[in-house]
Amino acid sequence: MTPPAVRILLCDDHAVVRAGLLALLGSEPDIEVVGEAGSGEEAVVLAARLTPDVVLMDLQLGEGIDGVEATRRIAVTGVHVLVLTTYDTDADITRAIEAGATGYLLKAESPEELFAAIRSAAQGRTTLSPPVASRVMARMRSPLPTLTDRERDILGQLSQGLGNRDIARALFISEATVKTHLGRIYDKLGVDTRAGAVSVAKEQRLLP
């Protein structure tokens, strides 16, 4: 007997991307797209209603909850989530995996690699794009970053949601100095956003 097709729910806020994925996945006889979502909230609702084998989840979804939060809400129900995104920063990868993503694939991968990742995810096996796997291994092998006391102070203020001007006032330094320290913090943590810095700092227990 032919095994049942892997049932897929697509979640991407770009209709053109969803259409492309729909056409691509339609070429595989053992993969069936059972639903499409244009937002994180819609994906959570449809995942509960359709109970797909795998949700293909983008990370950036415009307004509303992002792909990481949608992944967290879906993964706890037992549905496998395979992240399919263009973002490969350490912070994005860490947040998605901690949220319960079964795999993390970049949109630059070949169709064959996508098909294989979907089949693996349906069986609960972890699949990472080679660049993502390399970053994960490098992080595991590298020592924790060393931050100066001032950088820790700024990270602490950052975690409270303060902007550069407020941080400068709180620490009695100039905004230019805050920007300089932020640049160094980003480099050390391997991120390029304030949210990413806070996320990695919390993960590695670097906050004061």
- The per-residue pLDDT for range 12-43, each reduced to its tens digit, is 999 999 999 999 999 999 999 999 999 999 99
Beta strands in 86-136 (DSSP E): 103-106, 127-128
**Phi and psi, residue 52, nearest 5°:** -70, 165
pLDDT tens across 61-98, in order?
Answer: 888 899 999 999 999 999 999 999 988 777 788 888 88
In sign, the C-alpha dihedral spanning 42, 40, 136, 199 is negative
Task: Tell me which amino acid residue 124 is.
Answer: G
Please tell me the distance from the alpha carbon of residue 155 to that of residue 207, in angstroms, as a whole number.
6
Q: 1: which DSSP letter?
A: -
**Global confidence as pTM:** 0.67
Q: Which pLDDT value is given to residue 133? A: 79
- In the block, which residue shows the tokens 């230019």? 176
8-state DSSP, 86: S
Chain centroid to Cα 110, Å, comes to 20
